[in-house]
Amino acid sequence: MSAQRLISNRTSQQSASNSDYTWEYEYYEIGPVSFEGLKAHKYSIVIGFWVGLAVFVIFMFFVLTLLTKTGAPHQDNAESSEKRFRMNSFVSDFGRPLEPDKVFSRQGNEESRSLFHCYINEVERLDRAKACHQTTALDSDVQLQEAIRSSGQPEEELNRLMKFDIPNFVNTDQNSFGEDDLLISEPPIVLETKPLSQTSHKDLD
């Protein structure tokens, strides 16, 4: 550090041309840089760096968009149905791509209709989406259970799905997911939300 200060002292005495008092605090300079005999443009590193950076980002963007058009479909495993719930909210968080009514019209499966209905956080779109958002998290899990029952899923898958938790970017009440016990449905709540889920099923047809 002291060597640097000596150098800076010398430099300050040499170059104190346009001010009375100049001091360099920890001014680091090895010596004057000579610009003689440059083969390339002096800003070549700057230009090369920024152009390379821009090319890299654009290349990354094109790779990502190409991935959307080509590529093998994802392997269907046991957890793909659970991943679907999260994918919905994850994709909608990424950029709100899904239209609930278009999704419902293409999907013949009533179970996935109601599930997508609950877990797409498109507040500004439809009243039925708003109705679902206004229900508590417990209600939406009960709707999930209802939908699963109505579509006739086996019991072990039902139990697995009952432990399902909404990930953090979905617009539902977070507090309810502090404990897994809350996901167990109770008969009175089932009865209360039955008309809601039936109405929602009817709306989607």
Partner 1 sequence: MKHIINSYENINNTARNNSDCPHVVLPEEIFFTISIVGVLENLIVLLAVFKNKNLQAPVYFFICSLAISDMLGSLYKILENILIILRNMGYLKPRGSFETTADDIIDSLFVLSLLGSIFSLSVIAADRYITIFHALRYHSIVTMRRTVVVLTVIWTFCTGTGITMVIFSHHVPTVITFTSLFPLMLVFILCLYVHMFLLARSHTRKISTLPRANMKGAITLTILLGVFIFCWAPFVLHVLLMTFCPSNPYCACYMSLFQVNGMLIMCNAVIDPFIYAFRSPELRDAFKKMIFCSRYW
For partner 1, the binding residues in 97-136 under the rule CB under 8 A are 97-99, 102-103, 106-107, 112, 116, 121, 123
What does the block give as tokens for 142? Answer: 């009960």
Contact in structure between 133 and 173 (CB atoms under 8 Å)? no
What does the block give as tokens for 193? Answer: 């939300």
Q: CA-to-CA distance for 184 and 57, rounded, in angstroms?
A: 47
Binding region for partner 1 (CB under 8 A) out of 73-81, 141-149, 150-158, 188-196: 73-81
Give me the phi and psi of 24, to 5 degrees please: -115, 115
User: Under rule CB under 8 A, which residues in 129-188 are in contact with partner 1?
Assistant: 160, 163-165, 167-169, 171, 173-175, 177, 180
In this complex, which beta carbon is closest to partner 1, that of residue 154 or of residue 195? 154
Binding region for partner 1 (CB under 8 A) out of 29-37, 143-151, 184-192, 194-202: 29-37
Residue 118 Cβ, how far from partner 1 at the closest point, in Å? 15
Contact in structure between 115 and 85 (CB atoms under 8 Å)? yes
